[in-house]
Amino acid sequence: MTSVPTPIPSRTQFVLEGIKHRILTGQLSPGRPLVETELAAQYGVSKTPVREALKTLAGTGLVVMSQYKGVTVRMVDADMAREIYDVRLLLEPEALRRSVRRRAVLDAACDALDRADAATDTAERSLANREFHRALYLPCGNPLLGRMLDEVRDQAALVSAVAWAADPSWAAEAAEHREILRLARLGDADGAASALHDHIASFLHRAFPGTRQEEGRR
């Protein structure tokens, strides 16, 4: 059987994951221009997969495409953070509540916590943090709910990367994660959901203190 050439989508995925990793670890800071020719040279590809990767990243909210300014990494401010975390506060605790009530196995969440503890850099810690939260909501029994939360996880990670760069709070968050998982494993669906809500809200308040009053009015 003749070999099949590597399709363009695989090169696009390679570039996509590379750019995303650099954005979510702060190597490409908010507002940074993303020039197709430069990225193509860095990744050893033509401009086509770079262009397609940037379009995908724009669709996920990590980059902004402008007719006049070109493509830039999305800026993070209190309004953007509030929008993303408002969605998480509405959906993620409920998803966890359902996961617990379905008696979902949460071993993946425990593994993610261990990886976060062993992380040697921000990139590893960020990835483990994302996987922890996903392991809690994915077994909720509603695939649409899981996909909706998947859609905002990259933007939430961008907010986290910016906040951690200004004020690392990993130790506090790790303790909160363990308490959430402890309650979930005890079968306390409401307690775990409440702890997760407080965890998400407290991070937003620490990173963007001005959001506290507005959220309190909702």
At residue 119 the predicted structure's pLDDT band, cuts being 50, 70 and 90, is confident
pLDDT tens digits for 177-203?
999 999 999 999 999 999 999 999 999
pTM of the model: 0.81
Cα separation, 137 vs 146, in Å, equals 6
Q: Which domains, and CATH codes, for the chain?
A: 8-73 (1.10.10.10), 78-216 (1.20.120.530)
List the structure tokens of 71: 């493509």
Which one-letter amino acid corresponds to residue 25? T
Cα gap 71→94, rounded to integer Å = 36
Amino acid, res. 153: R
Note the pLDDT tens digit of each residue in 70-92: 999 999 888 999 999 999 999 99
Lookup result for tokens 């306390």? 188
Beta strands in the chain (DSSP E): 63-66, 70-73
